[in-house]
Chain A
Amino acid sequence: MDLKNRVEQCLGPKNFVVAMTECQGDLSVEVPKRSVVDVMRLLRNTPDLGFNFLSDLLGVDNLDLNKPKKKPKKKTEEGEGAETEEEPKDKGPSPPRYEVVYLLLCLERNERLQVKVRVEENDMEVDTLTPVWKAADWPEREVFDMFGIRFKGHPNLKRLLMWDDFPAHPLRKDYPLEGQGEERHLIYDD
Chain B
Amino acid sequence: MAIEAYNGGGWIATKLEWLINWGRKRSPWPLPFGTACCGIEMMCALAAGYDMARFGAERPSFSPRQADVLIQAGTINLKLAPVFKKIYDQMAEPRCVISMGACASSGGVFRTYATLQGIDKLVPVDIYIPGCPPRPEALLQALLMFIEKTEKSQPITHKKYSDLLVGT
Contact = CB atoms under 8 A, between A and B. Distances in A.
Interface stretch (B33-41, B62-70, B79-87, B132-140): B79-87
A178 B79 CA distance: 15
Contact of A184 (B78, B86, B111, B112): B78
Nearest to B84: A186
Contacts of B78: 163, 182, 184
Contact of A188 (B82, B112, B114, B122): B82
Contacts of B82: 184-186, 188
B113 A163 contact: no
A185 B81 CA distance: 9
Contact of B114 (A170, A176, A185): A170
Does more than half of chain A's interface fall in helix, strand or loop, or is it mixed? loop
A175 interface: yes
Interface of A: 161-163, 170, 175-180, 182, 184-186, 188
29 contacts: A161-B79, A161-B114, A162-B79, A162-B114, A163-B78, A163-B79, A170-B113, A170-B114, A175-B113, A176-B113, A177-B111, A177-B112, A177-B113, A178-B111, A178-B112, A179-B112, A179-B114, A182-B78, A182-B113, A184-B78, A184-B79, A184-B81, A184-B82, A185-B82, A186-B82, A186-B85, A186-B122, A188-B82, A188-B86
